[in-house]
Amino acid sequence: MKWLIAFARDYALLVICILIATLGLLKVHISGVQYSDSDLILAVLGVLAVSNVAERLGILHSLDQRLADIQRRTENSRHPRIEVANRSEVPRLGERVGSAREELVICGPSLDGAVSIVHQITAAAQRGVRVKILITLSTRENMKQYGRHLTAANYDLVSQQGLTSAQAKIRHNITILKQALDGYPQVEVRTFDGLIWCGYVMVDRGSRQALMDVQVYMYKVPVDSAPLLQLTRESSGEWHDFFSSAFDTMWSDSVAA
């Protein structure tokens, strides 16, 4: 039965073409249907056209199956993958903080965003979450370095008055974070004497559900236009470990705020 189905699938249209051509050559008119040689040619061409379409559809279906198979194998492979996030789909910082169960890492040049949701960070600390916060040491030289390299809409890092204001703003942010989180032994707020080239939000690094958002700060590129990477331990383990290790290196060179 299977061979009959296969034969019909592969040769049915060819048989129909041969049948039409034979009837035409023999001038056989079924049920009195009249047709000319032109009608016969058009009929054969029509069947052949249908056959060609069917063949192409078969090829496309085969390619689709092959691509789907390749995609499945890629998803299950050990090769690391990294994805540039669609900003409109990235959870807000508060959502990341709220999802932390074991560890929360927040790192950036000024951390205005962290200060704006300090109550949520405090709530995470109250749940027993280990919190690591790393911010730039607000020396004048660090501010000038940022001014030479970064485009910051909310900071004037060019004029002398702007540099002084930026230093004061970062010191204010550190004070707010320390005051809110004081008394939680598992919370650390530290400063890094140098430029922070990636902003980090890391959640539960030691678990299988570990994830992180990595904001890359690029030369003279506004933050909203620079890559924002989303990494998970499950789908991009090697990259996740790379950025995690890079943060740990900065953390080891930092000092208590």
Q: At 256, list the tokens.
A: 């208590």
In a shared domain, residues 96 and 159: yes
Question: How confident is the model at residue 92, as a pLDDT?
Answer: 86
Confidence at 226, pLDDT banded by 50, 70, 90: confident
In a shared domain, residues 127 and 38: no
In a shared domain, residues 203 and 117: yes
In a shared domain, residues 27 and 143: no
In a shared domain, residues 218 and 249: yes
In a shared domain, residues 133 and 49: no
Question: How confident is the model at residue 111, as a pLDDT?
Answer: 94
Residue of 129 and 240 predicted with greater confidence: 129
Question: How confident is the model at residue 117, as a pLDDT?
Answer: 95
Question: How confident is the model at residue 224, as a pLDDT?
Answer: 82
Put the strands of the sheet holding 228-232 in their side by side order.
Answer: 83-84, 228-232, 211-216, 198-203, 103-108, 130-136, 187-192, 255-256
What pLDDT digit, counting tens, does each position of 82-128 carry? Answer: 556 666 666 789 999 999 999 999 999 999 999 999 999 999 999 99
Percent of the chain at pLDDT > 70 equals: 65
Domain that holds residue 44: 2-75
Minimal CA–CA distance to 178: which of 188, 192, 167, 170? 188
CATH number of the CATH domain containing 173: 3.30.870.10
In a shared domain, residues 66 and 98: no
In a shared domain, residues 60 and 107: no
Q: How many structural domains does the chain have?
A: 2
Residue 80 CA to residue 35 CA, distance in Å, equals: 65
In a shared domain, residues 113 and 146: yes
Span 161-170, average pLDDT:
94
In a shared domain, residues 91 and 67: no
Last residue of a domain, one of 20, 44, 75: 75
Confidence at 23, pLDDT banded by 50, 70, 90: low
pTM, to two decimals: 0.67
In a shared domain, residues 67 and 87: no
Last residue of a domain, one of 75, 105, 140: 75
Residue of 50 and 137 predicted with greater confidence: 137
What is the longest distance spanned by two Cα atoms in the chain?
A: 102
Residue 139 CA to residue 158 CA, distance in Å, equals: 14
In a shared domain, residues 62 and 178: no
Question: How confident is the model at residue 56, as a pLDDT?
Answer: 52
Q: Is the pLDDT of residue 163 over 60?
A: yes
Question: How confident is the model at residue 136, as a pLDDT?
Answer: 96
Last residue of a domain, one of 24, 40, 75: 75
